[in-house]
Structure 1
């Protein structure tokens, strides 16, 4: 445990504690249900065809595998609700250096995800333009330049939303929750009524030859685990929502919203995945992805084949909004972690100052710029980097938080910080923490190296580059403040830091 130090941390401005349970649940779901389910769900077969017909099972299984982590996070949220919660939990349990390194990797995974979501926005807008008959506009939107311009516009919109204050953010997330439910209802209704032969015939037209079910469709365990890694990405709100800890009314609000958002996500994913693969033969998807027809294998592409044009237009309009909104909670997540870094002196004090609307403006702007950089990478190098890196770093954070709880549990009671006294007595965490660690280690091992990906674009290489940047930030911070390696325990967690 780091010793306490008499040195003072930089002067910081407080955040507004106004976010309620509904907004937290909506933010949890908003960071999950968007480009991930509409684009990655079916295209998972493009990356791992050996999973065959088990894609819906894998999507739901990924959610249940995160159950111990959700419970662990919820208990930490009750005990220590702070801005950039996962960073705070790690540094207060395993030490500043380890916690900062893990959070730096996590932040890069988040901004990579912001790039992917911004990239996906143009895909769905292109589908909408095709549905209304503007083919040339759709082609322009889905060109590399179109992805970058439209994604940059999306980042600008949500940067302005954040600068308007967290209360406005919460209201928008509640509205987006209603739109997510609308998309789910349309998806399920169209796909359950759809004819699988219609989509198979459409795939045959695009490919120039019929598609047939293979003689051996036995799922591969390796492919199943690989898809689990990709689908962990679809539950990223579990780690994103806790960053609102400095702006929720209390720890109970944060914990309840987190658990409810995760539970709703599992239900929605299960219903959507089952209905989609009722209408789409799984063996038609990989050939489409391999031939460069990924858009046809997205849910908007499927709806365009199965539904009347009017329904397709309405659906695509909803999906454009739902997919685009996923960027908002991710930007909040990243900016609040940076805000927490500055509280501990790892970034200049200016990063911890807020506007009159109590918004940490510098972290918000830096997040937008980093998201734009990753958007360019996604548009020019391929979207799977953002998915894999976010999944791996998400699991890394879970593992470190789990180890941190075990470390607290093993400490003598006299050496535990006051905020952790009730946390370590949670007997259910004796199962949840080790289970979360085991799942995380398996997923990290499976996800650090991606098949058919150039060496420089592998998640492992991205992580290595991130650690180099983290070392530079650390050394810079130490030179700025000689005592930065010693962080005092938070004295009062009942108010915003």
Structure 2
């Protein structure tokens, strides 16, 4: 049999068109603060009694900084290839390990993509329509049919956008960053400049249950006023979900310029910016309404829905409606800017998944046809395949619960991230030759110990703690046997895919893939 090249071609075909700002913007958009604040401040107070989400989110910045953020920045500098942890650990540990990690993370990204598509209607368009007086249309946007139709339209639009290439995407998302940020600034400024006494009087004017009665009602049914440091620490599960490990730019490293600089700006800088954005935006709700009042209102909405006094959920947008019910233009304007925050959040998940899938195909673990790149430098087939899978997941998301779609998936993801941390911890010692080949910027030491090892250890500790917290606290949903088995099955499904690809290449094509994983793929 004639000798064949291991790699599909000598260059990936991807274009290094992303700047350091673009990398940072990708990181922030993957964790869009307005969207995350809506989730956490609406549902968090009912899950963890005594939580102060402002403190949890501020503390979470530094917890993630000393763990996953530094770890992924170092790996990105060491091996700047699209595909991120797949490329790193398939070479540094074992190809099956690298593939399994990246396979499951990619499922999580598509899971988020699907949820963001499905919530376009219920969370973002429905409040705007309600404000405009279109109650029936608002109800339709919140229904299964309406949410899926709306999500499908956006899925098609995002797919077309990414097919036009990373350059256009980065340019548009740069503008969107400033628009979404401006929306948050306007919203937060209104709330910070409004005295609590004004909020109380306006709430009492529109609600059948008065301000002080909200707190009394919640306490009567098991809610606890105030906050505790224990609850704040438990509340870290929310920023752990939103910030994750802040390593998202690493998955498109093959398309980022000057990686040694962009990795720090994109990953660490992105984490700090998004964390402060989360903290200040979310705290504006506590500032205008009072921590106890908002937490009590969210508790009633989630635990006592029949006693909830408002026609709208305790979303951040609702607070503007309470303050200025007659200023429809203001509510629509800010509601539209919050809607754009979900637009800002969603396509990056599709972008990253398509690059991971591209890396697998470039290594021949999936059909090499998937490595086709158009004249814009976009991997055509992996974008389309990822969008189709996302569409199917979205239809399931519309009928699933928070526990199924978030908590148990996140438990498994945290365990996998913990294994990534442990692998990074031992890597410089068990793969000394490979580590010594790293650029100097990735071989930083502290007290004689490689920083990549120290960051790996802290990543493992934080990740395993996060998994334990989510699994052990009933208020967070706890373990769901069916959901947990499903997520573990997704993770283990990577094994037959890898074995099948290895055997096919070995027996049919005469290629030994073990040789391929001894090299870094072309850039």
The TM-score with structure 1 as length reference comes to 0.89
Find the aligned partners of 1:161 and 1:455 in 2 and give their Cα distance: 37
Deviations 1:313-355 (A, max 9, x none): 1101111111122111111111111111112221111122211
Q: Is the 8 A contact 1:124 1:316 kept in 2?
A: yes
Find the aligned partners of 1:147 and 1:350 in 2 and give their Cα distance: 33
Q: Which runs of 5+ in 1 are unaligned?
A: 1-5
Find the aligned partners of 1:104 and 1:47 in 2 and give their Cα distance: 33
Alignment of 1:342-491 (within 5 A): 342-388=361-407, 391-392=410-411, 395-396=414-415, 398-411=417-430, 413-414=432-433, 416=435, 418-419=437-438, 423-427=442-446, 428-448=451-471, 451=474, 452=477, 455=480, 458=483, 460-482=484-506, 483-485=512-514, 487-491=516-520
CA shift for structure 1 position 131: 1.7
> What's 1:3 paired with?
none
The 1:350/1:178 distance shift into structure 2, 3 A limit, reads same
> What's 2:300 paired with?
287
CA shift for structure 1 position 389: 5.1
Instruction: Indicate the larger mover: 231-240 or 363-372.
Output: 231-240
The 1:105/1:47 distance shift into structure 2, 3 A limit, reads farther
> What's 2:36 paired with?
37
Deviations 1:126-178 (A, max 9, x none): 11111222111111111111111111111111111100000011011101110
CA shift for structure 1 position 235: 1.4
Find the aligned partners of 1:231 and 1:376 in 2 and give their Cα distance: 27
> What's 2:164 paired with?
164
CA shift for structure 1 position 447: 2.7
Find the aligned partners of 2:74 and 2:5 in 1 and give their Cα distance: 30
CA shift for structure 1 position 70: 0.8
Find the aligned partners of 1:63 and 1:385 in 2 and give their Cα distance: 26
Structure of higher CA gyration radius:
2
For the residue of structure 1 that corresponds to 2:17, the secondary structure is coil
CA shift for structure 1 position 394: 5.0
> What's 2:509 paired with?
none
Find the aligned partners of 2:335 and 2:434 in 1 and give their Cα distance: 56
Q: Does 1:228 align with 2:236?
A: yes
CA shift for structure 1 position 237: 7.7
Q: Is the 8 A contact 2:24 2:267 kept in 1?
A: yes
Deviations 1:65-120 (A, max 9, x none): 11121112112211211112122222222211112112222111111111221122
CA shift for structure 1 position 422: 5.4
Find the aligned partners of 2:202 and 2:109 in 1 and give their Cα distance: 34
CA shift for structure 1 position 204: 5.4
CA shift for structure 1 position 426: 3.3
Find the aligned partners of 2:391 and 2:375 in 1 and give their Cα distance: 26
CA shift for structure 1 position 488: 2.9
CA shift for structure 1 position 47: 4.6
> What's 1:259 paired with?
268
Find the aligned partners of 1:40 and 1:258 in 2 and give their Cα distance: 23
Find the aligned partners of 2:128 and 2:182 in 1 and give their Cα distance: 16
The 1:359/1:274 distance shift into structure 2, 3 A limit, reads same
Find the aligned partners of 2:82 and 2:283 in 1 and give their Cα distance: 37
> What's 1:27 paired with?
26
Find the aligned partners of 2:95 and 2:493 in 1 and give their Cα distance: 16
Q: Does 1:108 align with 2:107?
A: yes
Deviations 1:178-211 (A, max 9, x none): 0221122122122221635257648953899931
Deviations 1:239-298 (A, max 9, x none): 322212011113122332222211111111111121111233221111112344795211
Choose which of 242, 250, 262 in structure 1 pairs with 2:250.
Answer: 242
Find the aligned partners of 1:53 and 1:453 in 2 and give their Cα distance: 18
CA shift for structure 1 position 401: 3.7
The TM-score with structure 2 as length reference comes to 0.85
CA shift for structure 1 position 393: 5.3
The 1:345/1:201 distance shift into structure 2, 3 A limit, reads farther
Find the aligned partners of 1:153 and 1:412 in 2 and give their Cα distance: 48
CA shift for structure 1 position 413: 4.0
Find the aligned partners of 1:405 and 1:455 in 2 and give their Cα distance: 30
For the residue of structure 1 that corresponds to 2:395, the secondary structure is helix
Find the aligned partners of 1:413 and 1:454 in 2 and give their Cα distance: 39
Q: Is the 8 A contact 1:229 1:392 kept in 2?
A: no
The 1:352/1:273 distance shift into structure 2, 3 A limit, reads same
> What's 1:205 paired with?
208
Q: Is the 8 A contact 1:241 1:329 kept in 2?
A: no
Choose which of 60, 63, 68 in structure 1 pairs with 2:61.
Answer: 63
Q: Which runs of 5+ in 2 are unaligned?
A: 507-511
Find the aligned partners of 2:366 and 2:341 in 1 and give their Cα distance: 33
For the residue of structure 1 that corresponds to 2:257, the secondary structure is coil
Find the aligned partners of 1:430 and 1:228 in 2 and give their Cα distance: 24
Q: Does 1:272 align with 2:271?
A: no
Alignment of 1:114-129 (within 5 A): 114-122=113-121, 123-129=123-129
RMSD: 3.0
